[in-house]
Amino acid sequence: MAQIVKRAFKYRFYPTPEQAEELARTFGCVRLVYNKALEERTRAYTLQGRRVSYVESSARLTAWKRSGEYDFLFEVSSVPLQQALRHLQAAFANFFAKRAKYPTFKSRKKSRASAEYTRSAFRWREGRLTLAKMEAPLAIAWSRPLPEGVEPSTVTVSKDAAGRWFVSLLVEEKISPLPPAGQSVGVDAGITALAALSTGEKIVNPRHERADRRKLAKAQRALARKAKGSANRAKARARVAKVYARIADRRRDHLHKVTTRLVRENQVIAVEDLTVRTMVKNRSLARAISDASWREMRGMLEYKAAWYGRTLVAVDRWFPSSKLCSACGALRETMPLKVREWMCACGAVHDRDVNAARNVLAAGLAES
């Protein structure tokens, strides 16, 4: 049965100098409002033990605008400023629910520059998007079409550290489940191979960060030689950011292809419930684990399985998938990481990763 899901479509766009100036001013105002509201909430919470509501923060925003000190807030659309307060409200809700840490201030250099526009702050006509306070539509590079008949409900404009401009359009899309698949698969995430499957296949790990490591090191050395605060340092920082952006884009593209294929071909997908945050504390493996991006792959599998009528099962992290013989069920006492192939007493010869994937699949099917 088809379901309606909220889905964001992200595109690059190329602003005119006037649009870039307007957006930069908006980003600065959004950051200012967020930080001032966070400062007041922190003061109330620390000194009075009182929680400040969104309504109270919104009233304070109106007072700041009328105080004469922040007249420039009138120069940008009010909607992104209100959305910044809503995001702060959500951040505090997550903190009080113990789902996240205490909100932190936004930095001009380190925080993501973005602004969110709701339906009242943009015009969408015949596939052309015009934001509030702008006369001309954005020059968007339509790398893929929007679903037919949909209109964006929210637009988020952002600029990354590499200087690239992006617009994200949130739409409601009707997605139909895929036809039932006749097979299931177990997935064992790894470093040498990105994933070993219970079918015996190993999906290669491109190791994008390692491939560009020399280029990244050269750019970082050039950055280190530049004087702090200089224009040359800003240019060098942008070159480093471009290398990082290339690595992230290629990695994300590969993960999308792998996860889409797994979801299309299998009805049940069983994975290990890995604690990546703990695993990256291992200094010897942290860089390789981060480059493999297991957590991002797991997230993609989760939402794609939910969209297309598949079942994703997470097997307990303490399940001894590597030490268990998938043929007879015998459990070995130890299995050092250096052992990549081993023979069970029953005579079965196992590839460590493929055997683990088969055990993960068996455990996942038992749970589901």
Cα–Cα dist 88/235, whole Å: 32
β 154-159/311-315 pair status: unpaired
Identify the pLDDT of residue 265: 96
Give the 3-state secondary structure of residue 168.
strand
- Of residues 116, 209, 272, 291, which has the active-site annotation? 272
Known active-site residue 173: no
Splitting the chain (368 residues) into consecutive groups of 10 residues, what average pLDDT does each group show? Answer: 90 97 96 96 91 94 92 95 97 94 90 94 94 96 92 96 96 93 93 92 90 92 94 94 94 95 96 82 80 91 95 91 90 86 90 94 90
Boundaries of every domain in the chain: 3-175, 184-367
Q: What is the CA radius of gyration of the chain?
A: 25
Residue 68 neighbours by CB under 8 Å, 6+ apart? none
Known active-site residue 353: yes
Cα–Cα dist 254/154, whole Å: 28
- Of residues 22, 116, 209, 353, which has the active-site annotation? 353
pTM (two decimals): 0.87
Given CA atoms 90, 92, 97, 101 in this order, what sign does their dihedral have? positive
Cα–Cα dist 319/5, whole Å: 34
Closest among 328, 358, 361 to 344, alpha carbons compared: 328
Identify the pLDDT of residue 287: 84
207: left (phi over 0), alpha (psi -120 to 50) or beta: left
Contact 189, 292 (CB under 8 A): yes
Please give the C-alpha separations between residue 273 and each of 98, 231, 316, in angstroms, as whole numbers.
Answer: 21, 46, 6
- Of residues 22, 116, 188, 209, which has the active-site annotation? 188
Cα–Cα dist 209/283, whole Å: 16
Identify the pLDDT of residue 368: 76
Identify the pLDDT of residue 297: 94
